[in-house]
Chains A and B, each alone.
Chain A
Amino acid sequence: MTCHETNDSLEMYIVGDLDDVAARDVAAHLAGCAPCRRSYEERRVLISDLKDTAQAFQPTRIFRDLPDVAAFVERRAASAAGAASVSRRPAVRVRSRWAALAAAALAAALAAAVAVASVPALAEEIPLPIGHEISDLRDQNRQMHQQAVRMQEQIEQLKTEIITIQGQHVPQVDTANPALPPEVNAAVQGVVVKFIMAQYAGDMAAMKKLATPALQARMDQRPEDYLRDKAGKVSFAQLTDVRTYEEGGVTMYLEFVRLMDGKLFNQSQYQEDFGVVQSGGRYLVDSMETDA
């Protein structure tokens, strides 16, 4: 298995969706390839944090506004009666049943322990396995919590250094992974900085020279999305180092730049996210999105 194939399978491997044979192939490759092991570890941490986030927000208002819920169910019940079969449950019964449900959910929302405390009562109506399942869920939550603590300890401190690109002194965020060759990094950042300077010069022709045909077409359609205040001055606050990923057989170079011009987003910094591709020995901007 090559590094490329491993990289393609990494997400499925981490999530546990590969079959045994494929998982063994990935594991074997990781065992002998330090760069891929680092990729694996980094992506595993990110995915773990994302999964932790799924449980991080306890909604407070769902089902609490009982008059609204009742009105909604009443409308639905009326609609069901008119349409004959939206719900096979009798309309009147839906409302009373829903009110009981809403009250139960409200009680559950008020005390996290309610669902667990209800298990003995539920066991009267539902076969026992539910108790095991809730117990399993609690174990999973505990493991996720422990994992989150470990992940928190592994967050790396970013290093910032001042570099000079196209005459601009810009702090660069070094994300500390094995970097692209310095000349590639500098070339991509150089194209991006030139593009931004052209944006603030109001020079659409210069911007187009730095853009792929696809981006040129988008710029023609919505020039206001790309041109900045012609008389404005822009400060470069930060550049990331360049990251790549593969899309449809094409390597895309990602570069995020934080800027401040005193206009967009008021006095705050804002961000432009660039996708750059290599074409005919040159690097060309293929996408530019404005971000807060």
Chain B
Amino acid sequence: MGDPVLVSAARAGNDRAFSVLVKLYERRLYCTALSMMGSSWDAADAVQEAFLEAYAKIHTLRDETKFRPWVTRILVNQCHDLQRGRKPAVPTDCDLMPEGEAHVFVGKEAGLDVINAVRRLDEEHRVVIALRYFQDLKVDEIAAILEVPSGTVKSRLNRALAKLSLRLGRSNRLEVLE
């Protein structure tokens, strides 16, 4: 990935480099926020706030190879802050619709089913799914962000995948095979 080069440039004050980082990450971060927030509009707010904070604090990021987990942590905190400041809105309250949201859906139809299934998971499961597959983070990185042991992340991932398989009507064999 080009993160280190871009991050170095952005840290040195190159706004265009930061704008490319925004472009590279906005979909992933927005998708992650979609899985955590009650509405797509709240998700967009969270991502916007996260980028603003990242822009203001990028000089504090010492390891330029860690931009992704760093900005993800900022987003997760922003989501929690926004959730605390608003009437609780659990993602399972409403499915995302094909239109009328804070995004243009550019994926396959299955993508809408997938995100709605993720949004119906309980919080601890939808967060690990989002961080693992939407943000492409390592288990240890997720553990650090959520401040839980790596083993907990793994077991939550397995449980979340089992639930998603059922909710999406997929054939699966997640059971223990002896």
Measured CB to CB, the residues of A under 8 A from B are 2-4, 6-8, 11-12, 15, 17, 33, 35-36, 38-39, 42-43, 45-47, 49-63, 69, 72-73, 76, 80, 86-89, 94, 97-98, 100-101, 104-105, 108-109, 114-115, 118, 121-122, 125-127, 129-130, 132-134, 136-137, 148, 151-152, 155-156, 158, 173, 175-178, 180, 240, 243-248, 251-252, 254, 256, 273, 289, 291-292
Contacts and interface: CB of A to CB of B under 8 A. Distances in A.
Nearest to A87: B56
For the residues of B in contact with A, the DSSP-based class is helix
Given A73-B52, A175-B172, A289-B122, A245 B158 contact: yes
Interface residues of B, number: 83
A130 B103 contact: no
Contact of A46 (B24, B136, B168): B168
B2 A130 contact: yes
A127 B14 CA distance: 13
A151 B113 CA distance: 14
A57 B105 contact: yes
A126 to B, nearest CB: 5
B148 interface: no
B127 interface: no
B141 to A, nearest CB: 11
Contact of B129 (A42, A50, A152): A50
Interface of B: 1-2, 5-6, 9, 13-20, 22-24, 26-28, 30-31, 34, 41, 43-44, 47-49, 51-52, 55-57, 59, 92-93, 95, 102-108, 110-112, 114-115, 118, 120, 122, 129, 132-136, 138-139, 154-155, 157-159, 161-178
Contact of A56 (B20, B106, B168, B173): B106
A180 B162 CA distance: 15
B161 A101 contact: no
B161 A11 contact: yes
A4 B178 contact: yes
Contacts of B55: 98, 101
A57 B27 contact: yes
27 contacts: A3-B176, A11-B157, A39-B173, A39-B174, A42-B170, A49-B114, A50-B164, A57-B111, A59-B102, A60-B104, A62-B44, A62-B51, A87-B56, A89-B56, A94-B56, A97-B13, A100-B15, A101-B15, A118-B16, A121-B16, A122-B17, A126-B6, A126-B14, A240-B166, A246-B176, A256-B166, A291-B92
